[in-house]
A and B are shown apart, each in its own frame.
Chain A
Amino acid sequence: MNPKDLATTAPNTWCPGCGNFAILNAIKPVLADLDEEGLLALEKVVLVSGIGCHAKIADYVNSSSFYTIHGRTIPVATGIKLANPDLTVICFAGDGDAYAEGLDHLIFAAKRNVDITTIIHDNRVYGLTTGQYTPTSPSGFVGRSTPAGLVVPPINPLEIVFASGGSFIARGYSHGIELLKEVFREAILHRGFSFVDVLQVCATFFNLYDYYNERVYTLEEHDPQDRARAEEKMREWDYNSDGPIPLGIFYREEAPTFGDNFVKYNSKIADIDGRIREALESFV
């Protein structure tokens, strides 16, 4: 299938130079390829998005989708997956979505190792609300809600997901589509909770292209099953200091997923009245 077939008629309203284009242009060929290779079926793909500039991706990909509300992609995606384990469920969320409004859901999804993929459009600024700090904005960030500069340091989302039990942890960058495609593909194919933090540049409110271009490098000869090494690499950059910024798959492990025990429950009861009558017997 041609990735172009995945386009919709919705006019794209992202700003010129927006990092969201890279994510859109990476996910479409990945889905098309996986469909082509028989590794998934497009009609079984569901995209779930939150609220923010990122979330418009639901309008821009011609696949089943649920355009939800701010911070709540992950519980919706979890419900979809539990309801129908045959579906491939991919969440797109912003850093405000996943790390502020819905951090509880991120931690629990990682803890449960539910078999969904979560891609964070981490531009480290609120775009759609026109320029306030997010949980990953660096200290000193001057935004419209913090005109004197942000005092507190950012969180490192990779460490949070790792500590919570996430079984696939990666970082991408919106300048470098080949790496994004590779990471997305592996994340989707991974069975368990896959988490990809994408350094997605907001060209309008927080343009970090030059900053990132000087500091990013791709992990090589890194064994993602080496927990200690994975953790070390996640800590190499804390989203605040100027250290080198590793990209790629940091960590990956096979682990039981939430909902495995549900598969046998299909709510098919031939004689529901009879079964209820039996259940009532124990209350006489």
Chain B
Amino acid sequence: MDEFSVLVGGRAGDGINEAGMIIARLFNQLGYCLYQYLDYPSLIRGGHNFAIVRAAGKKIGAHRDRVDFLLALNQETIDRHRWRLKEGSVVIYDSDEVKSPVAGGVGLPLKTMAKEAGAPAIARNSGLIGAFSGAAGIEWDILEAVLRKEIPKSIDENLEVARLGRDGIDGNGLKVERRSYPCCPVITGNELIGLGLLRGGLDAYVAYPMTPSSGILHFLAKVAGEFSIKVVHPENEIAVILMAQGFAYAGKKVALGTSGGGFCLMTEGMSLAGMAEMPLVVVVSMRAGPSTGVPTYTAQSDLHFVMNAGQGEFTRLVIAPGDLEQAYYWSATSLGLAWKYQIPAILLSDKTLSESAYSFNLDEARGIPDIRPVLADGEGEYKRYARTPDGVSPLAFPSMKGAVVKANGYAHLESGITTEDADEVKAVQDKSLRKEESLKKELERLPIVRTYGSEDASLALVCWGSNKPVCAEVGEKLGLRVVQPVVLNPFPTSQFEAALGVVERMISVETNSTGQLARLMRCNGFDPDDLILKYDARPFSVEDLEERLLEVTR
């Protein structure tokens, strides 16, 4: 078999995410590319959590509906996911919990095993993973090494439970052969965005917790000492974006993170950053709305919100990376661009990209451009908003000798002092427009539109953000063109046109109910012929997209 999908499920608090990640790391040792989809409701204990780990010999970034292994810690997992089984699928379950199993499944008394080994109940996972390793023919040494690395406490007891689980399997069900995909870190989008920001020279990160963006805050807070950065969690999102502007004003590269609801509170701050020309990177990780919506599930429904948030007209950059390599490249590059053009840059993620784990190949994320801010030379009287031909005013920071740095959210003179004079007000706006033109020119040199699949196909899938991997996979399989604008504002019109090549028909694939990319395309002179939309707050599986595509093209 070329690839395997493993579903592990149980209650919230059972350690499902960790179990899935251990399974992913086992495959990682065997030369597979990994993707883990994590599905969990908005609660701390109880409910149903599951992870689908998909492993393949080629690059992937999406899950399949059907699974080869179903690993169940409780009855609900069996009941909910029975439909995913196919011929030859292996089912392993905790017989202490599951009372109506699937015929042919292997029941192991995992709770009893954990107790016998003197391990905490969470070690049921180790028994399940041990059994899985036996059924998949994965060598004990690999399992032991991964468990030793991943399990922080009671490792001997956990190994004992894993051994008991493994011994409960008789013979191999599906043999997992070695593949040759490079052994890469398997990491979530949030953690990778954090690393990308660090690569871009981050000095400070400011955020208020909000799913699905909190992973960035947690990761950066954890490594703050190691990377010598300041991480602050203020009283609310209003304070977040204003505090961040304090950092930016004082000359520190700062990023902030939130989701839609928190970004609502940040809109006045966005507008201030526009007028006062404060460089900010704002990570917005989308979840299904409106309002609280479906907080731990996914959507791409805030594109037009982030593009338009804040009163008045000002230059902003909106970037939607679609995989980890792009997330790394653009997290770093967005800081450079935000600082060179003194603008707010929005890095748009969603629950799928932020919280799924992917194999990350650093070698594919090379070539991050060195884009630096324009600094004042210290000659003459400093003017914070000097009106230059390219719209970019050289930066100085307070405490620089002789520089009086006056930032202002009112319309302002070059000095930064408030003005309401008609000519001056127009000059402020003209400067902003010139800056946007300069930014567009700079972007022309960067990979702002990506393509996959066949170059001479007449049918193209157009996608953005986290739908890139599933579209690329299906597009390549079916010989279609796939076009992904990575920068969405300013819209990359000429690169987009070039990417379409000989395409005659475009289908926009989106995780929202109205086709937000399609609307943006139409605003820029491109008219998609069909939409494939999904708005049940779940990401497209490979099968989903294939089926929907058949319906549209039939």
Q: Which residues of A are in contact with B by a Cβ distance under 8 Å? A: 8-10, 41, 43-46, 48, 51, 56, 58-59, 62-69, 72, 75-84, 86-87, 104-105, 107-108, 262, 264-269, 272-273, 275-277, 279-281, 283-284
Q: Cβ of A64 and Cβ of B408 under 8 Å apart?
A: no
Max chain A Cβ within 10 angstroms of own Cβ: one of B276, B362, B409? B409
Q: Out of A65, A79, A279, which one reaches B250, CB within 8 Å?
A: A79
Contacts of A279 in B (CB 8 A): 195, 223, 226
Q: Out of B185, B243, B397, B405, which one reaches A79, CB within 8 Å?
A: B243
Proximity bits, B231-253, A CB within 8 Å = 1, else 0: 01011101110111111111111
* B24 vs chain A, min Cβ distance (A): 10
Tell yes or no: B320 within 8 A of A by CB: no
Contacts of A76 in B (CB 8 A): 242-243, 245-246, 249
Q: Cβ of A283 and Cβ of B199 under 8 Å apart?
A: no
Max chain A Cβ within 10 angstroms of own Cβ: one of B25, B204, B225, B254? B204
Interface size on B, residues (CB 8 A): 67
Q: Cβ of B235 and Cβ of A84 under 8 Å apart?
A: no
Q: Out of B191, B226, B251, which one reaches A84, CB within 8 Å?
A: B251
Task: Name the residue on B nearest A83 (C-beta).
Answer: B250
> With A8-B417, A76-B249 known to touch, is A83 a contact of B185 (CB < 8 Å)?
no
Contacts of B401 in A (CB 8 A): 43
Q: Out of A67, A69, A82, A269, which one reaches B232, CB within 8 Å?
A: A82
Contacts of A107 in B (CB 8 A): 235
Q: Cβ of B191 and Cβ of A283 under 8 Å apart?
A: yes
Max chain B Cβ within 10 angstroms of own Cβ: one of A9, A43, A107? A43
Main secondary structure, interface of B, reads: mixed
Complex formed: what's the CA distance from A157 to B108 in Å? 65
Contacts of B234 in A (CB 8 A): 75, 78, 108
Complex formed: what's the CA distance from A59 to B384 in Å? 13
Q: Cβ of A82 and Cβ of B230 under 8 Å apart?
A: yes
Given contacts A43-B402, A67-B408, 7 further A-B contacts (CB under 8 A): A65-B405, A69-B272, A75-B243, A76-B245, A83-B251, A105-B238, A267-B229
Tell yes or no: B100 within 8 A of A by CB: no
Tell yes or no: B183 within 8 A of A by CB: yes
Max chain A Cβ within 10 angstroms of own Cβ: one of B224, B235, B360, B401? B235
Proximity bits, B206-240, A CB within 8 Å = 1, else 0: 10000000000000000111111110101110111
**Top 8 A-B pairs, shortest CB-CB distance:** A79-B246, A283-B185, A83-B250, A75-B242, A79-B243, A64-B398, A80-B246, A75-B239
Q: Cβ of A43 and Cβ of B400 under 8 Å apart?
A: yes
Q: Cβ of B410 and Cβ of A82 under 8 Å apart?
A: no
Contacts of B252 in A (CB 8 A): 83-84, 267
Q: Cβ of A10 and Cβ of B418 under 8 Å apart?
A: yes
Task: Name the residue on A nearest B409 (C-beta).
Answer: A69
Q: Out of B183, B204, B236, B405, which one reaches A104, CB within 8 Å?
A: B236
Q: Cβ of A75 and Cβ of B246 under 8 Å apart?
A: yes
Q: Cβ of B204 and Cβ of A82 under 8 Å apart?
A: yes
Tell yes or no: B433 within 8 A of A by CB: no
Q: How many A-B residue pairs have CB under 8 A?
A: 189
Max chain B Cβ within 10 angstroms of own Cβ: one of A8, A66, A272, A284? A66
Complex formed: what's the CA distance from A251 to B499 in Å? 67
Q: Cβ of B406 and Cβ of A64 under 8 Å apart?
A: yes
Q: Cβ of A66 and Cβ of B276 under 8 Å apart?
A: yes
Q: Cβ of B187 and Cβ of A283 under 8 Å apart?
A: yes
Tell yes or no: B203 within 8 A of A by CB: yes
Contacts of A46 in B (CB 8 A): 249-250, 398
Q: Cβ of B195 and Cβ of A78 under 8 Å apart?
A: no
Q: Which residues of B are in contact with A by a Cβ distance under 8 Å? A: 25, 28, 183-187, 191, 195, 198-199, 201-204, 206, 223-230, 232, 234-236, 238-240, 242-254, 268-269, 272, 276, 360, 362, 397-410, 416-418
Task: Name the residue on A nearest B418 (C-beta).
Answer: A59
Q: Cβ of B201 and Cβ of A267 under 8 Å apart?
A: yes
Q: Cβ of B403 and Cβ of A43 under 8 Å apart?
A: yes
Q: Cβ of A280 and Cβ of B235 under 8 Å apart?
A: no
> With A10-B417, A43-B402 known to touch, is A265 a contact of B229 (CB < 8 Å)?
yes
Q: Out of A8, A72, A284, which one reaches B28, CB within 8 Å?
A: A284
Task: Name the residue on B nearest A281 (C-beta).
Answer: B185
Q: Cβ of A268 and Cβ of B406 under 8 Å apart?
A: no
Max chain A Cβ within 10 angstroms of own Cβ: one of B204, B243, B245, B408? B243
Q: Cβ of B202 and Cβ of A267 under 8 Å apart?
A: yes
Q: Cβ of A63 and Cβ of B246 under 8 Å apart?
A: no
Q: Cβ of B399 and Cβ of A43 under 8 Å apart?
A: yes
Complex formed: what's the CA distance from A64 to B398 in Å? 6
Contacts of A264 in B (CB 8 A): 228
Complex formed: what's the CA distance from A72 to B268 in Å? 10
Q: Cβ of A83 and Cβ of B238 under 8 Å apart?
A: no
Q: Cβ of B406 and Cβ of A58 under 8 Å apart?
A: yes
Q: Cβ of B226 and Cβ of A275 under 8 Å apart?
A: yes
Contacts of B248 in A (CB 8 A): 79
Complex formed: what's the CA distance from A80 to B248 in Å? 8
Contacts of A284 in B (CB 8 A): 25, 28, 183-186
Q: Out of A67, A77, A273, which one reaches B199, CB within 8 Å?
A: A273
> With A67-B406, A83-B203, A83-B246 known to touch, is A283 a contact of B229 (CB < 8 Å)?
no
Q: Cβ of B406 and Cβ of A68 under 8 Å apart?
A: no
Q: Out of B224, B239, B407, which one reaches A265, CB within 8 Å?
A: B224
Contacts of A51 in B (CB 8 A): 409
Complex formed: what's the CA distance from A253 to B235 in Å? 24
Q: Cβ of B242 and Cβ of A72 under 8 Å apart?
A: yes
Complex formed: what's the CA distance from A10 to B424 in Å? 14
Q: Cβ of B246 and Cβ of A77 under 8 Å apart?
A: yes
Q: Cβ of B239 and Cβ of A108 under 8 Å apart?
A: yes
* B354 vs chain A, min Cβ distance (A): 15
18 A–B contacts from the bound complex (CB under 8 Å) = A41-B399, A44-B399, A45-B398, A64-B403, A67-B409, A68-B245, A68-B409, A69-B409, A72-B268, A72-B269, A75-B238, A75-B246, A79-B206, A82-B230, A82-B246, A104-B238, A279-B226, A284-B185
Contacts of A105 in B (CB 8 A): 235, 238-239
Q: Cβ of B228 and Cβ of A265 under 8 Å apart?
A: yes
Contacts of A69 in B (CB 8 A): 242, 268-269, 272, 409
